[in-house]
Amino acid sequence: MYYKPLQRNDSLSHDPFNALVVPRPIGWISTISREGVVNLAPYSYFNAVSNKPPMVLFAPVGPKDSQRNAEAMGDFVVNLVTWDLREKMNATSASVSPEISEPELVGLEMKPSQLVKPPRVAAAAAALECRWVKSVPLETAAGERMAGAIVIGEVVGIHIDDAIIVDGRIDLSARQVISRLGYKDYGVLDTIFSMPSPG
C-alpha cells in the first residue's frame, strides 16, 4: 500500500500516521496563566531535541492553553508520565476552559518549582523546569499556515525522585514510563537492553 496523507485511503479506518511514529514520549506540560490558573495537559508531539543545553519541544495542533501560557509567562514544566499516573494524565487532557485548573479538577497534588513559576506534579518521578525559548508556527511545504506550532523550551532545572536514583544512575524500572501509540493505544517501557557502541 502507498498512503498519501492528504488523500484518505478508504481501506484504512484511521489515518495511520500516529500509529507509525511510535512510541512517542508524553510531555505532561504544566503552565500557569497570567490570572494564576495552573494548567496541566499531556502532549505526545513532544521530545528532547538537544542535551547541550538540554532543550525540549511540544507541539499543540491548534490553539491550546499550554502554548498561550508558556508564551505569556515565559516558562513551563514537563512532568514524566509513568504507569501509576496514566489515568490522571488522561483526565487532564479533557478540553476545559482556561479558568479551570486541571490538577484541581482531577485531584492532583502540585509542588512548587524552583526556577520557574508553574508548579510540578508532586507524584511525578521527574519534572523538567523549562524557560520558553520560542514558538515556531507550522506551515506546509507549500507555505500554507497551519493552526499548530512547535513550542521550544530550555531545561533549567530537573526534579528527580530520589527513589529512581540507583547507584548514581536513573532507574525507572519500578515506575514504568508510558508512551503514546496510535489510536487510543499506549505502550509501557518494561524491557530494557544494552548494546556496546561500535566506538
Ligand X SMILES: Cc1cc2nc3c(=O)[nH]c(=O)nc-3n(C[C@H](O)[C@H](O)[C@H](O)COP(=O)(O)O)c2cc1C
Helix, strand, coil share (%) of the chain residues, nearest 5? 15, 40, 45
Q: What is the DSSP string of 166-187?
A: ETTEE--TTT-BEEE-STT-EE
Q: Which is nearer to ligand X, 64 or 88 (CB)?
A: 64
Q: Which helix (H) or strand (E) holds 87?
A: helix 86-91
Q: Which is nearer to ligand X, 14 or 166 (CB)?
A: 14
Least separation in angstroms between residue 27's CB and ligand X is 8
Question: Can you name the residues that pair with 179 across neighbouring β-strands?
Answer: 25, 187
Least separation in angstroms between residue 50's CB and ligand X is 19
Q: Which is nearer to ligand X, 35 or 162 (CB)?
A: 35
10 Å Cβ neighbour count for 131? 15
Least separation in angstroms between residue 91's CB and ligand X is 9
Least separation in angstroms between residue 183's CB and ligand X is 12
Q: Which is nearer to ligand X, 60 or 118 (CB)?
A: 60
Cα–Cα distance, 182 to 162 (Å, whole number): 33
CA 166 to chain centre: 25
Residues in contact with ligand X by the rule CB under 6 A: 26, 39, 41-45, 59-61, 64-66, 90, 93, 95, 180
How many helices (DSSP H) and strands (DSSP E) are in the chain? 4, 14
Q: Which is nearer to ligand X, 90 or 176 (CB)?
A: 90
Least separation in angstroms between residue 198's CB and ligand X is 34
